[in-house]
Structure 1
């Protein structure tokens, strides 16, 4: 089978910005167990709602459901505690650990809709190194699909967001990267159905590495360091 071409192999980027869940690691089993319990308690059909929770801040999803008589913040805190206690099945996307280990310390960030505590716990469970820069739910008022999180990550890395490459897996995150003006590559390892997108996609990080020169990174084929 012919391998798909390396996306953006002719481009140089100042920084690489990664979503976490579904992009560097999979936490679908854990998240959907917790959300299924919560949705059932509130009279929702998990099968209907679960596809909409990924890539979006928990608080935003709860508010969108419009449940009368609840405190969305308290409910989000409950879900966060349950997700923190249930890390079974959290694991790295294939090749992700080797790929990020080869990146320069000041050249990448994780930009996630999870809280920092949950993000750190999931990274540890997946055996992934912490990033030099974390943008989490606490850092951003307007979560994905708003562009704020990727713009803020680029600002803190002191680079132009239009010179960044965003790695995403979910529609909300892809829209966030697009709105920020960054290029996007879609990771499909956790997808069960094709995702309609204008951006190039790869299944995982196997056979992908980077070359660095003058503070710029290029994606290339090869064995990740």
Structure 2
């Protein structure tokens, strides 16, 4: 864990979690599918793969600006393939137990994945479905736009600035910053050390949560 301990010095109204790379690791499955897709469309796989993480499929494909490609059809194709292939998807260490200890009305999932894919991946990783889940279908603009996080805070009845967001990918971190929330960056799936002023975490086993008399959440280090 980083030396930045500010998130341990205050209470939060709610916790908001990204999914892929934050509570579960789906990199192997996602990269299998996107790699095959990129080859079929003549896209440089090595340069392309780092751009897929944290973003909606339709936004990833749109950014490529490929001639003659129907972005909605291709995004649907990718989603269907990802729903079929969940081999190797696992929870980030300690994530399921950590989430299970949180009050249901005090946390939400905010993912760039479509709902059906999100539920499939969470089931594969042993992550319970949350009471509040914002998915690709719920927003007009995906991350790095903060719309998903703002909507999650609204549905939980809290202000974004009263939330702690757990993220891992660059576009998600940008979305969390734009929402005005505090950040905890999960580093489990990072291949290289991240330079950031935000708190960082490799395993949820290093954390516990205390709920105060007002129902507010306080992070504690184990």
TM tier, smaller:
over 0.9
Q: Could you list the structure 1 runs, at least 4 aligned residues long, displaced by more than 6 angstroms after superposition.
A: none
Q: What residue in structure 2 maps to residue 136 of structure 1?
A: 135
Q: What residue in structure 1 maps to residue 184 of structure 2?
A: 185
Q: How does 1:152-167 map to 2 (within 5 A)?
A: 152-167=151-166
Partners in 1 of 2:221 and 2:100 — Cα distance? Answer: 16
TM-score, with normalisation over the residues of structure 1?
A: 0.95
Name the Cα RMSD after superposition.
1.1
Q: Which has the higher helix share?
A: 2
Contact 2:29 2:86 in 1 (8 A): yes
Partners in 1 of 2:197 and 2:113 — Cα distance? Answer: 26
Contact 2:54 2:169 in 1 (8 A): yes
- Could you tell me which runs of 5 or more consecutive residues in structure 1 were left unpaired when the two chains were aligned: none
Q: How does 1:1-225 map to 2 (within 5 A)?
A: 8-213=7-212, 214-222=214-222
Number of residue pairs the alignment of both structures matches:
220
- Could you tell me which runs of 5 or more consecutive residues in structure 2 were left unpaired when the two chains were aligned: none
Partners in 2 of 1:49 and 1:62 — Cα distance? Answer: 10
Contact 2:24 2:89 in 1 (8 A): yes
TM-score, with normalisation over the residues of structure 2?
A: 0.97
Partners in 2 of 1:137 and 1:54 — Cα distance? Answer: 14
Shift of the alpha carbon at 1:46?
1.0
Contact 1:7 1:185 in 2 (8 A): no
Contact 1:26 1:90 in 2 (8 A): yes
Q: Deviations 1:173-217 (Å, cap 9, x if unpaired)?
A: 000000000001100000001223221111120121100011200
Contact 2:2 2:199 in 1 (8 A): no
Partners in 2 of 1:73 and 1:18 — Cα distance? Answer: 26
Shift of the alpha carbon at 1:221?
2.1
Q: Secondary structure at the match of 2:75?
A: helix
